[in-house]
Structure 1
């Protein structure tokens, strides 16, 4: 099984197979436009710009499961992210990413890469954890998505290789991205 076995909906409602990204290094991230982590969109786009020609593809999956921080409709999300954060990587239809209603793709991602904790050195980690503890303590249990901007790194064969929590900045993934890009390039030659 790999991410290529899943289908998702585009922001316009069309079905898209993830196998269309076969051969690329992927970053799948659950996004929200009204979150304290929303500025991560800019660094995600910088990674896309820097490594896109080498085979990196960022894929955004908006979700409104975390304190209503994604109130916009699908088309509005794409427009907001483009105008305010320069995003040109694909943003798909808004989905649930945790719990019983989680999209099958996100069930797969969290099964493949369990939760290993937050980077408590991140400037907003303590605030985020205190919000989760007070409003949604159930989020802290299990491997489900804890908050917006959880990032999954996927190799060119569709295998989930790493999970980066919201308290990991996009550029914290750069070394792992470079390794996957080089490793796969060396194998392909």
Structure 2
């Protein structure tokens, strides 16, 4: 009887260890993500950032173009104002850069220059695709959860657990977004 108990314990331990070492691969596993916190993204310096960093914070995420896009420019400014008003209460703001309809957003260095020249103090991530097969896994997941596309200039609101609360279109009411943020803080 004793050898059977040892084998069962050994198998249980191995199963536990193999499960613990299975990592979430966002390129493949994005449909099974539980929250924003399962994903990673590159910052403008090329560093891989774990979006777990937003756990415990309300997050507004914008995807916008940095050049020749008045809707995105307005969105960047709005989010900076929201960050200044509500950052001390737990609001985080982040943006993914996408290419504009008229003109590409440029290189990471161009985007850094834009961020500095406009005084943005929130996290801005490297340029990504948000549509099609080349879309960043986070945006594939967002679109799957919303059952809707996410246009340039759209803002996605996440709760403190990284769950999607709402999407606000590029030209939606800033008051509605701010009211939703205040309810979550």
The TM tier, using the shorter chain, reads 0.7 to 0.9
Name the structure where helix makes up a greater proportion of residues.
Answer: 2
Q: Distance in 2 between matches of 1:180 and 1:70?
A: 35
Aligned length: 150
| Superposed displacement of residue 162, structure 1 | 0.3
Q: Which has the larger radius of gyration?
A: 2
Alignment of 1:114-133 (within 5 A): 114=147
Alpha-carbon separation, structure 1, partners of 2:109 and 2:85: 26
Q: Is the 8 A contact 1:62 1:70 kept in 2?
A: no
Shift of 1:169: 4.3
Q: Is the 8 A contact 2:61 2:94 kept in 1?
A: yes
Which runs of 5 or more structure 2 residues have no equivalent in the other structure? 1-33
State the alpha-carbon separation in 2 of the partners of residues 68 and 103 from structure 1: 21
Asked if structure 2 preserves the Cα contact closer than 8 Å seen for 1:43 and 1:171, the reply is no
1:99 corresponding residue in structure 2? 132
Q: Using the alignment, how far apart are the partners of 2:167 and 2:150 within structure 1?
A: 10
Deviation at 1:78, TM superposition (A): 2.6
- Structure 2 Cα separation of the partners of residues 68 and 11 of structure 1: 22
Match of 1:167 in 2: 171
CA positional deviation for 1:43:
1.3
1:62-73 matches, cutoff 5 A: 62-64=97-99, 66-73=100-107
CA contact (8 A) 1:26 1:154 kept: yes
Q: Tell me how far apart the structure 2 counterparts of residues 69 and 90 of structure 1 sit (CA, whole Å).
A: 22
- The answer on 1:14 being equivalent to 2:47 is yes
1:81 aligns with 2:85: no
Distance 1:113 1:165 in 2: 13
Evaluate the alpha carbon distance shift between residue 51 and residue 98 of structure 1 in structure 2; reply closer, same or farther with a 3 A threshold.
same
SS of equivalent residue, structure 1 residue 77:
helix
How far 1:165 moved relative to its partner?
Answer: 1.0
Deviation at 1:168, TM superposition (A): 1.2
Aligned partners of 1:172 and 1:52: how far apart in 2? Answer: 18
